[in-house]
Amino acid sequence: MRRFLPRVVALGYLLVVLLAPLGMVFYRTFQHGAAPVWTAISSPEAVHAFELTLLVTAIAVPLNTVFGICAAFAIVRRRFPGKGLLNAFIDLPLAISPVVVGLSLYLLYGRTGWFGSWLTAHGIQVLFAWPAIALATVFVSVPFVAREVVPTLRELGDDQEQAARTLGASGWQTFRRVTLPSIRWAVVYGVVLTTARCLGEYGAVAIVSGRVAGKTETMTLLVDDDYQNFDLSGAYAAALVLAAIAVVVLVVMTLTKPKEEAA
């Protein structure tokens, strides 16, 4: 019996905390068949929310991937003053509540904010439009790639990079041919986590978006909106789509990862 205890605990925990709520959403969504689900997710508001979420994710993920790799390199391979600070700042979005992030963006880009007054004068709308939603999403999803790449890069060491340099490779060639292939799974995993975070962000986006249905509403906001308006089937359907995208991303990653490296 004792032999089974760890796995019973682990599986039981996941069942209660993860699978039961997700299963409930799934069950409720299809309680009255597939037709109402389709109606709900093909409504103009839902399609727009879907597109907006994908747009914001498509902006935040590449930005934070490039930044994350650069930051990881700086932290592991370079010595410079302020390195500790950089290391700490990367974790900031994990420590600060998204609501606070949203509020600070609101203050900065609002009509009277530092950037906001200038932008308003030049007719550029940031707050209550997709740029603010993108900024909030970029902010909250900063840490993941860097946090995945740093330990891998450290463990890799710089032997192979030095060997590449003595063999005549430039800095870029060394990165592309030697370093990147060695850290690719850390990058992929970081990208998956970043994507999941971007899709699921609610708090910061809720504050800066203005929540206009069909205009500045992302998927998470739509779910909440439907729920508040007692449109439960709409909320369930949108939630299911959100969950499904996350699951697909995870499955794709697991399938592309070669067997011996998948731990």
Partner 1 sequence: MSIEIRHVTKRFGDFTAVDDVSLEVASGSLTALLGPSGSGKSTLLRIVAGLEFPDCGEVLLSGRDATGLAPQKREVGFVFQHYAAFKHMTVRDNVAFGLRVRKRPKAEIAARVDELLTLVGLQAYAKRYPAQLSGGQRQRMALARALAPKPRVLLLDEPFGALDARVRAELRDWLRRLHEEVHVTTVFVTHDQEEAMEVADRVAVLNEGRLEQVASPLELYDEPASEFVMRFVGDAHRIGGRLVRPYEIALEREPDDGAVEVEVERIRVLGAEARIDLVDGSGAPLVARLRRDELEQLGLERGEILWARPERALAATAARP
- The contact pattern for partner 1, residues 177-196, with x = CB under 8 A and - = no contact, is xx--xx--------------
Handedness of CA 43, 44, 47, 50 (dihedral sign): negative
Which residues, numbered 78-107, are part of the site for partner 1 (CB under 8 A)?
A: none
What Rg, from alpha-carbon coordinates, does the chain have?
Answer: 22
Residues 6+ apart with CB under 8 A from 204: 98, 99, 101, 102, 105, 136, 137, 139, 140
Which residues, numbered 139-178, are part of the site for partner 1 (CB under 8 A)?
A: 159-160, 162-170, 173, 177-178
Handedness of CA 172, 177, 179, 181 (dihedral sign): positive
Rounded to a whole number of angstroms, the minimum distance from the CB of residue 85 to partner 1 is 22
Nearer Cβ to partner 1 (62/181): 181
- Amino acid occupying residue 165: R
CA 263/CA 250 separation, integer angstroms: 14
* Nearest Cα residue to 65 out of 184, 202, 181: 184
Size of the site for partner 1 (CB under 8 A): 16
Nearer Cβ to partner 1 (105/153): 153
Rounded to a whole number of angstroms, the minimum distance from the CB of residue 35 to partner 1 is 50
CA 229/CA 236 separation, integer angstroms: 13
Nearer Cβ to partner 1 (174/194): 174
Nearer Cβ to partner 1 (39/162): 162
Nearer Cβ to partner 1 (97/170): 170
Residues that bind partner 1 (CB under 8 A): 159-160, 162-170, 173, 177-178, 181-182
